Amino acid sequence: MEYESLFALGPLCGVDDPNTVIRAAAICDDLGMDTISAGVTIAWAMECFDKGLLSTNDTGGIDLSFGNGQAILDILELIGHRKDLGGLLAEGTKMAAERLGGGSSDWAMQVKGLEMPGYEPRSLKTMALGLAVTPRGACHNRSSAYEADFSEQVDRLSVDESRGIIAAESEDFEAVLDSLIWCKFLRKAFNDFYEESAQVYTMITGWDMSLDELKQAGERIHNLKKLFNIREGWSRRDDALPPRTLQEPLPTGVVAGVGLTQEELDYMIAGYCRARGWNDDGSVPDTKLAELGLLDLLPESSGVGIPT
């Protein structure tokens, strides 16, 4: 069983029966649903049910109490077919919470509409930054900033200026990894990722590619993602984490009591913008576009990076 599927469909929903989790993952596979988003959304719905925002009248008689494994299986079928409550949950936690109301956005564990993976940002603060700023939302496949926390390259429970550099470099790295269609699990198989990847690229295509050009390609890709989001109306205020993450310390575990504040997150985001060469508001200056060779692609780029 893959870790993220196990996390989202198991303990996140209060379920400890492996057979139930396996069956739930199989339903997701059969119906073409992401296991992380499905599990996080059901966990949100379970909390809504336990707090009285949803009832059996809404669920079609299903007891959606936290920890009810059979309910997960039943609700997944409804989601996959957009039937009854499943029609609401199929939209994900962000839109579902906005429609349901009742303060449920506070425990909708999503960033930019994408449900959060199985990493605890309050005790992995570099990862917290990565989840907040990644253009796709809370995606651990677009930012591997958590590796700095896991490897003890940094103190995972504190913040400093280096987190912005680490997050930016991890995003550029993942962009190159994806563009070359390398398997994610090969990322640690290189002695020098950029140099060796550039050599492979040159041998396969016949086009000379240096490691510096490959590094810049990753940065260029990420800046294009940022510009796309800005064009669609997203701004610095969308680089955020769920209220629960910023307002509630960890209740249990070896680092019980540890939390993440808005001030800490803002500090890291400011450092991230500096590392990126962006303006303080997260907009992309024309000087950066020129450096990356993007002005020709965006002839009217002046001011494009200014959020509304």
The domain ranges of the chain are 3-108, 125-291
Quick one: which of 209, 149, 150 has its CA closest to 179?
Answer: 209
Residues 58-115 have pLDDT tens digits of 999 999 999 999 999 999 999 999 999 999 999 999 999 999 999 999 999 999 999 9
For 206-230, give one letter per residue: b (16+ CB within 10 A) or e: eeebeeeebbbbbbbbbbbbbbebb
Q: How far apart are CA 96 and CA 248, in angstroms?
A: 22
Quick one: which of 218, 226, 225 has its CA closest to 176?
Answer: 218
Quick one: which of 260, 270, 246 has its CA closest to 158?
Answer: 260
Name the strand (E) or helix (H) holding 111.
strand 110-111
Q: How far is CA 179 from the centre of its chain?
A: 19
**What pLDDT score was predicted for residue 127?**
97
Alpha helices in the chain (DSSP H): 3-9, 18-31, 35-50, 56-59, 69-80, 85-89, 92-100, 125-133, 146-150, 162-179, 193-205, 211-231, 243-247, 262-276, 286-291
Give the count of beta carbons closer than 10 Å to the beta carbon of residue 194: 20
Mean pLDDT computed over every residue of the chain: 94
Residues 156-188 have pLDDT tens digits of 999 999 999 999 999 999 999 999 999 988 888
* pTM for the structure as a whole: 0.93
Cβ atoms 204, 182 nearer than 8 A: no
Q: Would you tell me the crossing angle of helices 35-50 and 69-80 to the nearest 10 degrees?
A: 120
- The dotted CATH code for 125-291 is 1.10.599.10
Radius of gyration of the chain (CA): 21
In DSSP terms, 60 is beta-bridged to: none
Residue 302 has pLDDT above 90, yes or no: no
**What pLDDT score was predicted for residue 92?**
97
pLDDT band at 301 (very low <50, low <70, confident <90, very high): very low
Quick one: which of 174, 112, 109 has its CA closest to 143?
Answer: 174
pLDDT band at 53 (very low <50, low <70, confident <90, very high): very high
Residues 127-151 have pLDDT tens digits of 999 999 999 999 999 999 999 999 9
Residues 241-269 have pLDDT tens digits of 999 999 999 999 999 999 999 999 999 99
**What pLDDT score was predicted for residue 304?**
54
Q: How far apart are CA 133 and CA 169, in angstroms?
A: 13
- The dotted CATH code for 3-108 is 1.10.569.10
| Percent of the chain whose pLDDT exceeds 70 | 96
The mean per-residue pLDDT over the stretch 6-16 comes to: 98
